[in-house]
Amino acid sequence: LAKTTQPISMDSYEGQEVNITCSHNNIATNDYITWYQQFPSQGPRFIIQGYKTKVTNEVASLFIPADRKSSTLSLPRVSLSDTAVYYCLVGDLIYNQGGKLIFGQGTELSVKP
């Protein structure tokens, strides 16, 4: 599974757009990029997943450049409730035995009023 690197922490203010970038230089051809969100004292929650270009859902957008060596999670107009740890994961579990997710340290996003 490709190793990922993301900032340990980020600060933002309510109403701003937040972009969290994840580096995955060794991403393999079959790998997808998946982001999870974890609030304090809760289990992680799937946010978004993509393979290339751009993916958007009701929560976030995911931008993936052509070389796929990085990806950016974009949260529009954050609120206090978006304060959480955001994890970037890279892998292709369909071809992997085990089905396990490998979590890094994540990015701790703090949204201030």
User: Are 10 and 20 spatial neighbours (Cβ–Cβ below 8 Å)?
Assistant: yes
The residue within the footprint of another protein, chosen from 7, 23, 55, 92 (CB under 8 A), is 92
Query: Could you say whether residue 8 binds another protein (CB under 8 A)?
Result: no
Classify burial at 63, counting beta carbons within 10 Å of its beta carbon; exposed 0-12, middle 13-18, buried 19 or more.
middle
110 DSSP assignment:
E
For the bound state, the minimum distance from the C-beta of residue 39 to another protein, rounded and expressed in Å, comes to 10
Which residue number, 63 or 103, has a Cβ lying nearer to another protein? 103
Query: Could you say whether residue 40 binds another protein (CB under 8 A)?
Result: no
CB atoms within 10 A of CB 74: 16
Which residue number, 7 or 104, has a Cβ lying nearer to another protein? 104
